[in-house]
Amino acid sequence: MRTVRILLTLLVSAFSTLTVQAQSQPANPAAAPFTVPPQMSAAQQENFSPQLLTELEAIKAAALADDYAYRQVAHLTENIGPRPSGSAQAEAAVQYVASELQRLGLEVGLEEVKVPHWVRGVETAELTEYPGQAAGTTQKIVLTALSSSTATPADGIKADVVVVNNFDELKSLGRDKVAGRIVLFNEIFDKQKAAGGMAFVAYGEAVRYRAGGPKAAADLGAMAALVRSVGSADFRLPHTGYSAPAGIPAGAVTAEDADLIAHLAEQGRVRMHLTLTPQKLPDVISHNVIADLKGIENPEQVVVLSGHLDSWDLGTGAIDDAAGVAIAMEAAEILGRLHLRPKRTIRIIAWMDEETGGSGSQTYTKEHSGEFPRHVAAIESDAGAAHPLGFDIRMSNAAADLIRPVLTVLQSFGANAAENRPYPPGADIAAMSESTVPALGIMQDGRTYFHYHHSAADTLDKIVPEELRENAAAMAVMGYALASMKNPLPR
Ligand SMILES: [Zn+2]
Tens-level pLDDT at each residue, the chain (491 residues): 333 333 333 333 333 333 333 334 444 444 444 555 568 999 999 999 999 999 999 999 999 999 999 999 999 999 999 999 999 999 999 999 999 999 999 999 999 999 999 999 999 999 999 999 999 999 999 999 999 999 999 999 999 999 999 999 999 999 999 999 999 999 999 999 999 999 999 999 999 999 999 999 999 999 999 999 999 999 999 999 999 999 999 999 999 999 999 999 999 999 999 999 999 999 999 999 999 999 999 999 999 999 999 999 999 999 999 999 999 999 999 999 999 999 999 999 999 999 999 999 999 999 999 999 999 999 999 999 999 999 999 999 999 999 999 999 999 999 999 999 999 999 999 999 999 999 999 999 999 999 999 999 999 999 999 999 999 999 999 999 999 999 999 99
Residue 308 CA to ligand 1 center (angstroms) comes to 7
Residue 353 CA to ligand 1 center (angstroms) comes to 10
**Please, which residues have CB within 8 angstroms of residue 414's CB and are 6 or more apart in sequence?**
2, 5, 6, 387, 388, 389, 390, 470
Give the helix/strand (H/E) hosting 74: helix 68-74
26-74: pLDDT as tens digits: 444 444 445 555 689 999 999 999 999 999 999 999 999 999 999 999 9
d(CA 366, CA 195): 39
- Number of residues that make up the chain: 491
**Please, which residues have CB within 8 angstroms of residue 347's CB and are 6 or more apart in sequence?**
290, 291, 292, 293, 302, 303, 304, 305
> Dmax over Cα atoms in the chain, in whole Å?
88
**C-alpha radius of gyration, the chain, whole number:** 25
**Please, which residues have CB within 8 angstroms of residue 62's CB and are 6 or more apart in sequence?**
334, 337, 338, 476
d(CA 438, CA 432): 8
Residue 132 CA to ligand 1 center (angstroms) comes to 42
**What is the model's pLDDT at position 30?**
46
Q: Choose among 214, 231, 233: nearest CA to 278.
A: 214
b/e code 255-287 from CB counts within 10 Å (16+ = b): bbbbebbbebbeeeebbbbbbbbbeeeeebebb
Residue type, 46: E
Residue 380 CA to ligand 1 center (angstroms) comes to 10
Q: Give me the active site residues, please.
A: 354
CB-neighbour burial class of residue 370 (10 A; exposed 0-12, middle 13-18, buried 19+) = exposed
Is the Cβ–Cβ distance between 164 and 185 less than 8 Å?
A: yes
**What is the model's pLDDT at position 187?**
96
Residue 261 CA to ligand 1 center (angstroms) comes to 30
**Please, which residues have CB within 8 angstroms of residue 391's CB and are 6 or more apart in sequence?**
379, 415, 417, 418, 419, 425, 440, 441, 442, 443, 474, 478
d(CA 405, CA 41): 10
**What is the model's pLDDT at position 39?**
83
Task: State CA 155 to chain mean position distance.
Answer: 36
d(CA 288, CA 363): 9
Residue type, 62: A
- Axis crossing angle, helix 465-484 with helix 50-64, rounded to the nearest 10: 160
Residue 136 CA to ligand 1 center (angstroms) comes to 43
**What is the model's pLDDT at position 14?**
36
Helix (H, G, I), strand (E, B) or coil at 390: strand
Residue 215 CA to ligand 1 center (angstroms) comes to 23
Q: Choose among 318, 341, 320: nearest CA to 331.
A: 341
**What is the model's pLDDT at position 27?**
42
Residue 299 CA to ligand 1 center (angstroms) comes to 29
Residue 61 CA to ligand 1 center (angstroms) comes to 27
CB-neighbour burial class of residue 408 (10 A; exposed 0-12, middle 13-18, buried 19+) = middle
Residue type, 279: Q
Helix (H, G, I), strand (E, B) or coil at 430: helix
**What is the model's pLDDT at position 37?**
56
Residue type, 172: S
d(CA 438, CA 489): 8
**What is the model's pLDDT at position 422?**
95
Is the Cβ–Cβ distance between 208 and 230 less than 8 Å?
A: no
Kindly list the distances between the CA atom of residue 458 and the CA atoms of 18, 86, 172, in Å, as whole numbers in the listed order: 48, 20, 37
Residue 203 CA to ligand 1 center (angstroms) comes to 13
The answer to whether the peptide bond before residue 321 is cis (omega within 30 degrees of 0) is yes
Residue 426 CA to ligand 1 center (angstroms) comes to 9
Residue 154 CA to ligand 1 center (angstroms) comes to 31
d(CA 375, CA 345): 9
**What is the model's pLDDT at position 38?**
63
Is the Cβ–Cβ distance between 457 and 238 less than 8 Å?
A: no
Helix (H, G, I), strand (E, B) or coil at 426: coil
**What is the model's pLDDT at position 162?**
98
